[in-house]
Chains A and B, each alone.
Chain A
Amino acid sequence: MDRHAVWWRSVLIAVAALGGMAAARAGGQMTFGDDTNTSANDGPPFFGFVRDSDGAAVGDARVTATVKSGGALVTTSNSIGVYKIAGFAKSINPADIVISCAKDGYKQANVMRRPNSPGDTTDPIEVDCVLQKE
């Protein structure tokens, strides 16, 4: 399997994971008084790949999404280097979310944000990280 095929396989896995995440949210806890799953009020999810400079997946990398107005969310890439973030408040401009990656023994070399279609405010936003061994 060449690198291009691997990339597409990873995309499919990531999209499937995002779908599962949405389902988990929708089927989340039920209490008598709470309303859940108001996804119409959510901003777009983020996802991406963490790789090294050779293109190999980097698992267990710490991925931080920093909100310019204050606050941050920290998650971890999985064994194939995929991370996912459920999203932020709709009031937060996705452009004001800064993604960074870190792992012991590596330094961040590059962060690539793939543009969504113009006017698209709901599709997941892909931001990929490249880590370089120190």
Chain B
Amino acid sequence: MTRVRCAVAAIALLLACVEATSCSAAVLTGTVSSAAEGAMEGVLVSAQKLGSPIAVTVVSDAQGRFRFPDGGLPAGRYALRVRAAGYDLAGPKTIELGAAPADIALRLDKTADLAAQLTNTEWLMSMPGTAEQKRPLMECMSCHTLQRIVRSTYTAEQFVPVLERMAHYANNTIQARVQMRPAPVKINTAVVTKLAAYLATINLSKGPVWNYPLETLPRPSGRATRVVITEYDLPRQTIAPHDVRTDRAGNVWYSDFVENYLGELDPKTGAQREYAIPVLKPGFPTGALALEPDADGNLWLAMMFQAGLARFDMKTKTFQVFPVEGVADDDAMQQSMVMPRSDNVDGKVWTNDVARHAIMRLDLKTGQYQRIDPFQFLPQGHSHAPYGMAADQKNDLYFMDFGDENIGRVDARTGATTIFPTPTPNSRPRRTMLDDRGRLWFAEFAANKIAMFDTKSETFKEWAVPTPYTYPYDVFCDKHGELWSAGMASDRVLRFDPQSGHSVEYLLPRPANIRRVFVDNSTDPVTFWAGNNHGAAILRLEPLD
């Protein structure tokens, strides 16, 4: 019996070695300190084996100590980096790990360039101005950080043509790859002029330094230090992971917002694979946004300016595309969302027509799309935008009115729309999920809140997120009823218990532009996943409690 146990243990060890790509995994521990503070809590310490796409990060505790997961770092030479606002890593910056445990003392020096370390949230906290003046800046973060604005030297007059030029860029643009909108864009000159005047007051147009103090958020402490974060670098900087989710086997899938690929990642080995999505409109911006499974577990993609939907068969690994035909497919046609969850009910898949602020529904038998204007009875001229979507068991659609302040429901049988304004005006609800209790969890992007709409009682609950200017993009309710959220501004992942009101904010190792968030409920504790849309990386966050 003992011999059998030993054999099983040996096989398990062998399998673990294969997964870790090396049999001589090291133990790495250490301390972080600085002359200014002594032992430092809340410093993120990252280790990345040279040549490997995988970086592992842990956080120092109240005594300044950190410990990487046992067996998590295969033997080899590692680059070390830290994240602690106000500090740089003095050394050591590399370490050779072998079979023996290693314990290192990291020394931090005060940074000479604090501005380079500020997140978008911290810039918004620092810069003077009213909420109305700062409000347009939330749009800028879709393509770049606010560093580009505050470090610029444009005067108000010089900013006007810059803003007008940027209005012509497609929303699926990142610094590594700019894409132009194929359709003409109407410029609101008054808005641009007003914004340009404000931006010239917060940048370096009047001198070499900012005329306001730079504020930073406190470093993580307590529970926020008990986490392991893994970053999987993608092979090209032009890959912009937008929606990320795991399948039943634990593999990670992501939509690429800029290139026409569906990505797959094996988190155990770091192995990556891309599946080319057929190009429907050559010369138009490429990339997909929403990634959602249908009732059979196949993945659907909203093809943005390629105008249509794509279904990826998980068994054959092939695409079937559904181009937008039969309705006006002009240069502005864009599908950002797809909702196939209940396509087995009536053979219909929901999507949106971004340019016309409308809902569309694909009939899988005919391949034809039906357009529904959910706002036709509301005051005209207000900005509406059907965005995040969820479908219930009857395939009734719930959608977020990202342009305004509404949750909408479309009856799958009658097409009738019911609009539910959120309690907070101008909330701009963005992405959403529907749990098995009929609760719609969603992010109120512009209100800095996360919220719940009970589809049974038709009532709302809202919770302000703890950090100002977070601008949450999405929220996920896990199996324990805890909420997970993130966005494009704060480089933080929020974990929030709506019952107790307690929250934890996990700082991320690098600037992170996060869109869709996903929680793998098959692990215990749960595992958080997201893409770093501007950083060409997939993020895994494993809380230790």
Residues of A near any B CB (own CB < 8 A):
21, 24-25, 27-39, 41-43, 60, 62, 67, 69-76, 86-92
B residues within 8 A CB of A34? 188, 383, 403
Is B13 among interface residues, defined by CB-CB distance under 8 A?
A: no
* A42 engages B136 (CB within 8 Å): no
Min C-beta distance of B376 to chain A, whole Å: 7
A residues within 8 A CB of B458? 62, 74
Which of B3-11, B222-230, B414-422 lines the interface with chain A?
B414-422
Is B499 among interface residues, defined by CB-CB distance under 8 A?
A: no
Q: Which residue of A lies closest to B191 (CB)?
A: A30
* A21 engages B425 (CB within 8 Å): yes
**Residue interface mask B424-437, A partner, CB < 8 A = 1:** 01101000000000
The answer for the CA separation of A38 and B381 in the assembled complex, in Å, is 5
Min C-beta distance of B220 to chain A, whole Å: 32
Q: Which residue of B lies closest to A71 (CB)?
A: B377
13 A/B residue pairs, CB under 8 Å, sorted by A: A21-B425, A28-B382, A30-B194, A32-B163, A32-B164, A32-B166, A32-B191, A35-B381, A37-B382, A41-B381, A71-B416, A73-B418, A88-B378
A residues within 8 A CB of B370? none
> A32-B167, A41-B380 are known contacts; what are 18 more A-B pairs with Cβ within 8 Å?
A27-B132, A31-B139, A31-B188, A32-B163, A32-B188, A41-B381, A42-B379, A60-B459, A62-B458, A67-B377, A71-B416, A71-B419, A72-B416, A73-B418, A73-B421, A74-B419, A86-B421, A88-B377
The answer for the CA separation of A42 and B381 in the assembled complex, in Å, is 8
* A32 engages B378 (CB within 8 Å): no
A residues within 8 A CB of B188? 30-35
* A71 engages B418 (CB within 8 Å): yes
| Cβ 8 A contact of B459, one of A67, A76, A86, A91 | A76
* B418 engages A90 (CB within 8 Å): no
B residues within 8 A CB of A28? 382-383, 404, 426
* A89 engages B418 (CB within 8 Å): no
Closest 4 A-B residue pairs measured CB to CB? A38-B381, A42-B379, A32-B167, A71-B377
The answer to whether residues A29 and B383 also contact, given A62-B458, A74-B420 and a CB cut-off of 8 A, is yes
Is B186 among interface residues, defined by CB-CB distance under 8 A?
A: yes
Q: Which residue of B lies closest to A87 (CB)?
A: B379
The answer to whether residues A29 and B428 also contact, given A72-B419, A73-B421 and a CB cut-off of 8 A, is yes
The answer for the CA separation of A34 and B420 in the assembled complex, in Å, is 23
Q: Which residue of B lies closest to A60 (CB)?
A: B459
Is B262 among interface residues, defined by CB-CB distance under 8 A?
A: no
A residues within 8 A CB of B374? 71
The answer to whether residues A89 and B376 also contact, given A32-B191, A38-B381 and a CB cut-off of 8 A, is yes
Min C-beta distance of B481 to chain A, whole Å: 23
Is B15 among interface residues, defined by CB-CB distance under 8 A?
A: no
**Residue interface mask B262-288, A partner, CB < 8 A = 1:** 000000000000000000000000000
Min C-beta distance of A71 to chain B, whole Å: 4
Q: Which residues of B358-377 are within 8 A (CB) of A?
A: 374, 376-377
B residues within 8 A CB of A31? 136, 139, 188, 191, 383
B residues within 8 A CB of A75? 420-421
Is B489 among interface residues, defined by CB-CB distance under 8 A?
A: no
The answer for the CA separation of A35 and B192 in the assembled complex, in Å, is 12
